[in-house]
Amino acid sequence: LVGNPNSGKTSLFNLASGAHEHVGNYSGVTVSAKEGYFNFEGYHFKIVDLPGTYSLSAYTPEEIYVRRHIIEQNPDIIINVVDASNLERNLFLTTQLIDMNVRMVVALNMYDELEESGNTLDYHLLSKLLGIPMIPTVCKKSRGIPELFHIIINLYEGADYVDAQGNINPEIAREIQDWHHKHVDESTHYEHVEDYTYPDKPHHTVYRHIHINHGADLERAISEIKDEISLNDSIRYKYSTRYLAIKLLEKDTEVEFWVSELPNAEAIIKKREKAAKRISDTMNEDSESAITNAKYGFINGALKETFVNNHLDKKTITKSIDALVTHRLLGFPVFFLFMFLMFECTFIVGKYPMKGIEWLVATFGKWISYTLSESPLKDLLVDGIIGGVGGVIVFLPNILILYFFISIMEDSGYMARAAFIMDKVMHKMGLHGKSFIPLLMGFGCNVPAIMASRTIENHKSRLITILVNPLMSCSARLPIYLLLVGAFFPKNGSILLLTIYATGILLAVLMAHLFSKILVKGDDIPFVMELPPYRMPTGKAIFRHTWQKGVQYLRKMGGIIMLASVIIWFLGYYPNHNEYKTVPEQQENSY
C-alpha cells in the first residue's frame, strides 16, 4: 500500500487484513511498515502498509523508506491509494510510481466525498490514459474492497501473458477461468477493468506501461542519461533506467550514490550536468522544478479529459469551522477549552466507574479471604495480586476516557489544526509545528510518541522533540496523579490535574528553548502540513482505538505490574512474618 498521508491506506489495511492499526485523520500516523495476512478468493495475501509519503524523493525518512522497500522487496502489486477528493496532488505520487515501472492498481479512496461534492470523474477513461486499473473505494463502508482484490488477482495472473495484439495466452486464460468458476460467485459478478477470463482480447483491460511525457527538452535529457546508464546490463534487473535518469536530473542524492558505484559513473554524472545546464538555459528553471511542473502538467491534462468540476464548492463546513479553530486569536481559547473538557471528563466522569471497579476488587478480595484458610498463598492472593493489580486497574476508566477524546480529535481532523495553531509557539521554543503531534502523543505513551517524531524533516527540531518528549505526562503516570490528587485535593481534582500536566508542558517549553540555544545547532525551516477536511469519526474506529489502549494497559497489569506487586509483597511479608504483633513492626523488619 503506497499513498499520500491521510489517503486512507491504514483504513484499507485494517479492513482487508483484519488488523487494528491506529488510524488518524492527520499525517504521519504510520511510522513504519505494518504487515498483515488474509485469504480471498482462493489466494493468500501478504499486505504491507507503508508510511504515507507525498513523493518518492530523498527528502524525508518516509520517502526514502518507501522507495527502498519497493526496490528491494519488489512487491507483486502496488496498491496506490489515492484520495479521490484531492486528485491533482495525490496523482503526483502515481506519476513517480509509473516512472519506476511497477505493476500497480489505484484505489480511488473516499470516493463518496467526490460524489457528494457534485463533481464527476470518468475513472474508466483516466485508467486508460494512465495505463492503470482504477477502482473506487470507500473504506468506512467497505465499498469496492472485494472488487479491488479481485482485479489484483486478475492482474497478477494475466497481465504478463497478453501479446502486442491484446490477446491473452489461451492456457493462462483457461487457468483464470477455472479459478473464476471455483471461487467467484458468477451470478452476481459483473465485467470490470482487467478481466482476463476471456481467451481472446480480454475485456476492458487498461494495464500497460506508459512514459510520462515531460516535454521535448526534458525527454531529450532523460534519454541521453538513460542511454549512458543502460550500458550497465546488470542494473536493469533492479532499477528502471528511465527512473534513474529522471532522479539524476532531480539531483537526488541517494540515486547519485547508487550510480557512483557503476563503472561509467563519471560519464553519467557529466551527461547529467550538461543536460541540467541546458534545461536551465532553455527553460529558465532548474531541472528538478522543470520535471515537477511537467508532471503536474501531465496530471492537469489527464484531469481535463476526465474530471468535471461542477463548481458546487460553496463555503464548506471545513472552511466555516477553520475560521474559528485556526483563528490567530480565537484558536487558542478553543484549544485550551478542548483540553480542559478532556481532563474534566477524565476526572469527573471517570470516578463513577472507578468506584464500581473498587467495589468489585474489594468484594473479590473478601471472597478469597473467606474461602481460603490462613496461609502465605492466601496473603499473596489478597495482598499481593488482588491488592496490587486491583489498586491500578481502578484507573482503567480514566485511561479509556482520555484516549476516547484523543481519538475523536485525531479522527475528526482537529489534531492537525491544533498543530497548525501551535506552530508559532513551537518556533519560539526552537521547535517545529510538526513537533506538536509527537508531543501530544506523549500524553498517551512516550515510546510511540518518540517514534512518531520521525516525520519531522528538520534534524534539529526532531532531536529536541525526542529529548523533551519524556516531560509529557504519559498515561502510565495518570494513576499516580489521580491517586495523589484524590488523596490530598479531593475538591479541586480536575484543576490540579490540569496544573500537573501544564507544569510538564512548561518544563518541556523551557528545556526545548535551552536545547535549541545550547545543545543543538541548526536553522529552523518553515512549517508545511496538510489540513485534511473534517470527517465525522466512526464509532467503530474510535472504540477500537480506545479499547486497544485499554488492552495494552491490562496487559501491563497482567505482566509487569503484577510481577512488581508480587515482588513488593514478598519483600514486605518475609522474613518471620508471624513473629510480630503489629503490621508496622513487621514491615520495619521485613526485607
Torsions phi, psi of 108, nearest 5? -80, 85
Averaged over 14-40, what is the pLDDT?
69
Model confidence, pTM: 0.73
pLDDT of the residue at 314: 45
Q: Is residue 554 part of a domain?
A: no
The per-residue pLDDT for range 537-591, each reduced to its tens digit, is 878 778 877 887 778 777 766 777 788 888 888 888 787 777 777 777 777 777 7
Domain co-membership, 221 together with 301: yes
Domain co-membership, 222 together with 170: no
> pLDDT-based confidence at 270, cuts 50/70/90?
very high
> pLDDT-based confidence at 184, cuts 50/70/90?
confident
Q: Please determine, for residue 122, whether its predicted confidence score (pLDDT) is greater than 70.
A: yes
The CATH number assigned to the domain holding 248 equals 1.10.287.1770
More confident residue, 445 or 96: 96
Average pLDDT of the chain, as a whole number: 83
> Dihedral sign, CA of 125, 83, 302, 156?
negative
Give the total number of structural domains in the chain.
Answer: 3
Domain co-membership, 153 together with 11: yes
- Among 247, 275, 308, identify where a domain stops: 308
- Among 530, 557, 573, identify where a domain stops: 530
Domain co-membership, 490 together with 522: yes
pLDDT of the residue at 25: 45
Q: Is residue 52 part of a domain?
A: yes
The CA angle 36-27-547, to the nearest 5 degrees, is 55
Q: Is residue 536 part of a domain?
A: no
Domain co-membership, 301 together with 335: no
Amino acid in position 577: H
pLDDT of the residue at 220: 93
Q: Please determine, for residue 199, whether its predicted confidence score (pLDDT) is greater than 80.
A: no
Task: Report which of 230, 281, 223 is spatially closest to residue 249, judged by C-alpha positions.
Answer: 223
Q: Is residue 196 part of a domain?
A: no
Q: Is residue 393 part of a domain?
A: no
Q: Rounded to an integer, what is the distance from CA 302 to the centroid of its chain?
A: 29
Task: Report which of 4, 313, 42 is spatially closest to residue 152, judged by C-alpha positions.
Answer: 42
Give alpha helix (H) positions in 264-350: 265-283, 287-306, 317-325, 331-348
Averaged over 404-429, what is the pLDDT?
80
More confident residue, 217 or 436: 217
> pLDDT-based confidence at 532, cuts 50/70/90?
confident
Q: Please determine, for residue 311, whether its predicted confidence score (pLDDT) is greater than 70.
A: no
Domain co-membership, 145 together with 239: no
Q: Domain range spanning residue 260?
A: 216-308
Q: Please determine, for residue 299, whether its predicted confidence score (pLDDT) is greater than 90.
A: yes
Q: Is residue 571 part of a domain?
A: no
pLDDT of the residue at 45: 93
Domain co-membership, 253 together with 345: no
**What percentage of the chain exceeds 70 in pLDDT?**
91
pLDDT of the residue at 526: 60
Q: Please determine, for residue 426, whether its predicted confidence score (pLDDT) is greater than 70.
A: yes
Domain co-membership, 293 together with 341: no
**What percentage of the chain exceeds 90 in pLDDT?**
26
pLDDT of the residue at 523: 59
Q: Is residue 562 part of a domain?
A: no
> pLDDT-based confidence at 226, cuts 50/70/90?
very high
The CATH number assigned to the domain holding 117 equals 3.40.50.300
Torsions phi, psi of 296, nearest 5? -65, -30
Domain co-membership, 58 together with 149: yes
The Cα 103–Cα 83 span in angstroms is 20
The per-residue pLDDT for range 271-297, each reduced to its tens digit, is 999 999 999 999 899 999 999 999 999
Domain co-membership, 343 together with 274: no
- Among 530, 550, 574, identify where a domain stops: 530
Q: Is residue 422 part of a domain?
A: yes
The per-residue pLDDT for range 471-480, each reduced to its tens digit, is 988 877 878 8
Domain co-membership, 338 together with 439: yes
Asked whether the beta carbons of 295 and 57 are under 8 A apart, the reply is no
pLDDT of the residue at 315: 47
> pLDDT-based confidence at 180, cuts 50/70/90?
confident
Domain co-membership, 337 together with 303: no
Amino acid in position 470: P
Cis omega before residue 575 (within 30°)?
yes
Count of residues in the chain: 591
